[in-house]
A and B are shown apart, each in its own frame.
Chain A
Amino acid sequence: MTDASITAPKARALPKVKSSTIVMGLYLLFLMLPIYWLLNMSFKTNTEIVSTFTLWPTNPTLDNYRTILTDPAWYTGYINSLIYVVMNTVISLAVALPAAYAFSRYHFMGDKHLFFWLLTNRMAPPAVFALPFFQLYSSVGLFDTHIAVALAHCLFNVPLAVWILEGFMRGVPKEIDETAYIDGYSFGRFFAKIFMPLIASGIGVAAFFCFMFSWVELLLSRTLTTVDAKPIAAIMTRTQGAAGIDWGVLAAAGILTIVPGALVIYFVRNYIAKGFALGRV
């Protein structure tokens, strides 16, 4: 299929239609269609959605968005989600940075086992942890707080952050550490002033992944919250049922949950591929 592009690897992308362009076009279309459909519905009134079937809104309306952005029951959901996601990202990075440094630079007793044990937490099904988390956080009085969700999400985000950062740190030559120590830098100063700037892209990628997995998770965040820290995703599931579903508002809420993700992707777009490879390319 891709003879043209591979036998001439040096050729710059010429404006001719290649089979690879068609493949990519079809794939991107497949990815965008369901999202487009949601977008389409979010600009329609519920009566229009239910009564007629059109490929685009005939009377575009912003009412659905207005409903969400003016009703505290809706928009606090977004604020709650953002609060615990940011908390989680900060906590995960703060503990993962030194650990990843240790794993990338030193041998110590049980390091390999420890590393794998950390990874096993990434493999733990949230469903297994839902009930014990509920009881644990209730018993220490953290139930329905943002920090509870942030800590719970550390279960899978910390191992992932350690894994990614370790991959990036491995790429930094050890001589840099040694030179800095000879020059009289303390560990703390070296780490903050020299090392962190060197792996800035790695930190960015790790932050992106923490953000992403905390943002998309629902099972734990729903189990650990009732009112005060309820995430937007859980509010969406609640509105279904009762007096039928308001598809328009649901679609608008869905679109609004995609926005933060789309924004952060834009900022890390050049590192995305390497990041998904956990820094191991």
Chain B
Amino acid sequence: MEKTVNQKAWFLVLPVLVLVAFSAVIPLMTVVNYSVQDTFGNNQFFWAGLEWFKEMLRDDRMWDALGRQLMFSGIILLIQIPLGVFIALNMPKSGFWVSFCLVVMSLPLLIPWNVVGTIWQIFGRVDIGLLGHTLAAIGVDYNYTSDPFAAWVTIIVMDVWHWTSLVALLAYAGLKSIPDAYYQAAKIDQASRWAVFRYIELPKMMGVLMIAILLRFMDSFMIYTEPFVVTGGGPGSTTTMLSIDLVKMALGQFDLGPAAAFSIMYFLTILLISWVFYTVMTNLEKREG
């Protein structure tokens, strides 16, 4: 759409600016403040420069958490994006069953995150959980509280359970926007199923898929509650993601300086990767017109 230049539009944006300034800028400045200062208690602070940043960058603990976090987000994207597209392709075409599938698929998305954790914590327990009990019955040695591999599998399956529907819903919305004429043309050309997917469906889904990738990346990179409830970051620290580590540091040990430096680097990392996704996305939108 053609937009007109109008500087007065700033007034319409003003409420958002004030609100976000209060709920984002002020807190963020506090974090920046802490990150460059040190304290001996009693609210006496003095300048520490970039000491905390240097210390955090030397600290293996953060690098390990970052490694785990990248691995987690990577696995999540690799599973959820193709699976979500696959599910969307298999959605019923019309009628009652569409609504039914949509409602059931959205259900996991509206469950409070700690309840999601609780559900899987129970589901996976060998004594009272369906999954754990079944696995034990068929002779699989499965215990997510003591075996790091089982813990990882549990939180990944949990996240797939929790969020794949989001990708599927987005991909479905993209598919719905393809006019029937495209499929008829493909049929006349006797295009294979793969060709239809590759040259019609996939390009048409690109825009929404980018949103899906962006959202799934951001949220999986910030994940806290679900793995915290299920594994508490253990066994050991094998499932301690960045957020879990950060909360432990900031609210648990009250190490304000290092935690603040950690926060800033954490936020910048997300921002950088998201900015890349966002740029690609808006370019795609432009190309489509």
Is A bound to B?
yes
B205-231 interface (Cβ within 8 A of A):
207-208, 211, 218, 221-222, 224-225, 229
Contacts of A106 in B (CB 8 A): 3-6, 9
B3-34 interface (Cβ within 8 A of A):
3-10, 12-13, 15-17, 19-20, 22-24, 26-28, 30-31
CB distance A37 to B23 under 8 Å?
A: no
CB distance A236 to B115 under 8 Å?
A: yes
User: Given A13-B92, A132-B31, A219-B225, does the pair A280, B207 have CB atoms closer than 8 Å?
Assistant: yes
Contacts of A5 in B (CB 8 A): 93
A1-38 interface (Cβ within 8 A of B):
1-3, 5-7, 9-13, 19-21, 23-24, 27-28, 30-35, 37-38
Contacts of A219 in B (CB 8 A): 224-225, 243, 247
CB distance A278 to B211 under 8 Å?
A: yes
Check B172 for interface membership: any CB of A closer than 8 A. Answer: yes
Contacts of B170 in A (CB 8 A): 273, 276-277
Check A207 for interface membership: any CB of B closer than 8 A. Answer: no
B88-109 interface (Cβ within 8 A of A):
89-95, 97, 99, 101-109
Contacts of B1 in A (CB 8 A): 104, 170, 173-174
CB distance B128 to A258 under 8 Å?
A: no
CB distance A274 to B173 under 8 Å?
A: yes
Q: Which of B48-56, B139-147, B174-182 contacts A (4 or more CB under 8 A)?
A: B174-182
CB distance A277 to B208 under 8 Å?
A: yes
The docked-state distance in angstroms from the alpha carbon of A277 to that of B283 is 17
**Min CB–CB distance A137 → chain B (angstroms):** 10
Contacts of A13 in B (CB 8 A): 92-95, 97
Check B111 for interface membership: any CB of A closer than 8 A. Answer: yes
Please tell me which one of the listed residues B108, B193, B274 contacts residue A6 in the complex, with CB atoms under 8 A apart: B193
Contacts of B131 in A (CB 8 A): 34
CB distance B222 to A125 under 8 Å?
A: yes
CB distance B211 to A280 under 8 Å?
A: yes
The docked-state distance in angstroms from the alpha carbon of A106 to that of B5 is 6
The docked-state distance in angstroms from the alpha carbon of A107 to that of B12 is 12
CB distance A217 to B123 under 8 Å?
A: no
CB distance B246 to A34 under 8 Å?
A: no
**Min CB–CB distance A126 → chain B (angstroms):** 7
Check A206 for interface membership: any CB of B closer than 8 A. Answer: no
Please tell me which one of the listed residues A55, A152, A272 contacts residue B106 in the complex, with CB atoms under 8 A apart: A272
CB distance A101 to B12 under 8 Å?
A: yes
Q: Nearest residue in B to A265 (C-beta to C-beta)?
A: B106
Please tell me which one of the listed residues A33, A128, A131, A133 contacts residue B266 in the complex, with CB atoms under 8 A apart: A128
Contacts of A32 in B (CB 8 A): 104
CB distance B16 to A162 under 8 Å?
A: yes
Contacts of A257 in B (CB 8 A): 111-112, 115
* Among A20, A124, A151: residue with most chain B CB under 10 A: A124
Check B76 for interface membership: any CB of A closer than 8 A. Answer: no
Check B81 for interface membership: any CB of A closer than 8 A. Answer: no
The docked-state distance in angstroms from the alpha carbon of A54 to that of B10 is 62
Q: Which of A58-66, A88-96, A192-200 contacts B (4 or more CB under 8 A)?
A: A88-96
Contacts of B183 in A (CB 8 A): 6, 9
The docked-state distance in angstroms from the alpha carbon of A1 to that of B224 is 37
CB distance B119 to A124 under 8 Å?
A: no
Please tell me which one of the listed residues A2, A34, A121, A158 contacts residue B89 in the complex, with CB atoms under 8 A apart: A2
**Min CB–CB distance A19 → chain B (angstroms):** 8
**Min CB–CB distance B264 → chain A (angstroms):** 8
The docked-state distance in angstroms from the alpha carbon of A95 to that of B120 is 37
Contacts of B242 in A (CB 8 A): 125, 127
CB distance A277 to B173 under 8 Å?
A: yes
Check B44 for interface membership: any CB of A closer than 8 A. Answer: no
**Min CB–CB distance B21 → chain A (angstroms):** 11
CB distance B102 to A273 under 8 Å?
A: yes
User: Given A1-B90, A216-B112, A254-B119, does the pair A107, B28 have CB atoms closer than 8 Å?
Assistant: no
Check B263 for interface membership: any CB of A closer than 8 A. Answer: yes
CB distance A216 to B113 under 8 Å?
A: yes
Please tell me which one of the listed residues A10, A31, A277 contacts residue B105 in the complex, with CB atoms under 8 A apart: A31
Please tell me which one of the listed residues B30, B129, B180, B266 contacts residue A125 in the complex, with CB atoms under 8 A apart: B266
Contacts of A281 in B (CB 8 A): 173-174, 176-177, 207-208
A residues whose Cβ falls under 8 Å from a Cβ of B: 1-3, 5-7, 9-13, 19-21, 23-24, 27-28, 30-35, 37-38, 41, 49-50, 53, 55, 91, 94-96, 98-99, 101-109, 111, 114, 116, 118-136, 151-152, 154-155, 158-159, 162, 170, 173-174, 212, 215-219, 223, 232-233, 236-237, 247, 250-251, 254, 257-258, 260-262, 264-266, 269-270, 272-274, 276-278, 280-281
When A and B form their complex, which 6 residue pairs have the shortest distance between CB atoms, in order from nearest? A261-B110, A132-B27, A102-B12, A106-B9, A127-B243, A20-B90
Can you add 7 more A-B contacts, CB < 8 Å, to A174-B2, A281-B176? Answer: A37-B123, A102-B9, A126-B224, A132-B27, A155-B20, A265-B103, A266-B103
The 25 listed contacts between A and B (C-beta, < 8 Å) are A2-B193, A3-B193, A12-B95, A31-B105, A31-B108, A34-B120, A37-B129, A41-B128, A53-B133, A94-B15, A99-B15, A125-B267, A128-B263, A132-B31, A136-B27, A158-B19, A170-B1, A174-B2, A217-B112, A233-B113, A236-B114, A250-B118, A254-B111, A276-B173, A277-B173
